[in-house]
Amino acid sequence: DTEVTQTPKHLVMGMTNKKSLKCEQHMGHRAMYWYKQKAKKPPELMFVYSYEKLSINESVPSRFSPECPNSSLLNLHLHALQPEDSALYLCASSQDRVDTEAFFGQGTRLTVV
Amino acid sequence: KNQVEQSPQSLIILEGKNCTLQCNYTVSPFSNLRWYKQDTGRGPVSLTIMTFSENTKSNGRYTATLDADTKQSSLHITASQLSDSASYICVGPRGNNRLAFGKGNQVVVIP
């Protein structure tokens, strides 16, 4: 099983809403990642969790709050987003470090209205 | 400077024809290079991952090559199908637990 599962697939939220994106993998990977991708652009790294600890935060605004409840799950909590935050949010996992093969989920298409 | 450069930016090919996509990378030290296929609005799907010692790797109709001396990789698509229409992204680790992404080759296959 090389699957990374993201839910929901699509999300529309208002600027005052609170929502969460979820990501799950059962490959025993110990590194998990959140990326943001705008149309026709490469993914941009947001956060990296390594062994359930936040190891990288790419200066992401605090309206995005990551959480890693256990080694299989990764959440991204959203609050008071702006329309420019609309994008495809990708979760990925790899065995432990980024130089091992990374597997991506199918993404959550987020629209902020 | 982007450490992964891809060309051509986009191309249109007839169904059944072959095409080759190019990737030049300057990430150092080199550990591996990957090709992903990304359909519009979906997550990237891994096609191949190649290490320093591998110079050719196939996955069905996709064949990747790697020249570690010139730091060039190519992805060859054989007998293209309509479902091959996608963005093909070249990716390499660039240290500090981060990946360097190319901007992708946008391929459109027409009947």
Question: What does A12-31 look like in DSSP terms, one character per residue?
Answer: EE-TT-EEEEEEEE-S---E
pLDDT over 90 at B29, yes or no? no
pLDDT over 70 at B11, yes or no? yes
Average pLDDT over residues B69-91: 95
* Owner of token pair 């009947």: B111
Residues A15-31 pLDDT 10s: 999 999 999 999 999 99
pLDDT over 80 at B95, yes or no? no
| Interchain contact B99–A (C-beta under 8 A) | yes
Rounded CA separation A108/B105 (Å): 23
Provide the pLDDT for residue A98: 75
Q: Which residue did the predictor score with more confidence, B98 or A42? A: A42
Strands (DSSP E) contained in B40-85 are: 45-51, 56-59, 62-67, 72-77
Rounded CA separation B72/B77 (Å): 17
Provide the pLDDT for residue A2: 67
Average pLDDT over residues B33-60: 93
CA angle A105, A12, B41 (to 5 degrees): 35
> Residues of B numbered 51-80 whose beta carbons fall under 8 angstroms of chain A's beta carbons: which are they?
none
> Which chain A residue is nearest to residue B97, measuring alpha carbons?
A98
Alpha-carbon gap: B40 to the closest alpha carbon of chain A (Å)? 9
Provide the pLDDT for residue B98: 86
pLDDT over 70 at B92, yes or no? yes
Most B-contacting residue of A29, A98, A111 (CB-CB within 10 A), to test interface: A98
Provide the pLDDT for residue B1: 56
Alpha-carbon gap: A16 to the closest alpha carbon of chain B (Å)? 25
Rounded CA separation B106/B85 (Å): 8
Alpha-carbon gap: A67 to the closest alpha carbon of chain B (Å)? 19
Please judge whether B97 and A98 are an interchain contact, meaning their C-beta atoms are less than 8 angstroms apart: yes
> Residues of A numbered 17-76 whose beta carbons fall under 8 angstroms of chain B's beta carbons: which are they?
31, 40-43, 45, 48, 50, 55-56
Binned at pLDDT 50, 70 and 90, residue A89 comes out as very high
Provide the pLDDT for residue B3: 87
Provide the pLDDT for residue A66: 98
* Terminal alpha carbon distance of chain B: 37
Provide the pLDDT for residue A32: 95
pLDDT over 80 at A58, yes or no? yes
Among candidate residues B74, B64, B84, the one with its CA nearest the CA of residue B16: B84
pLDDT over 80 at B82, yes or no? yes
Is the separation of the CB atoms in A89 and A107 below 8 Å? yes
Is the separation of the CB atoms in A99 and A93 below 8 Å? no
Average pLDDT over residues B68-93: 94
Alpha-carbon gap: B18 to the closest alpha carbon of chain A (Å)? 24
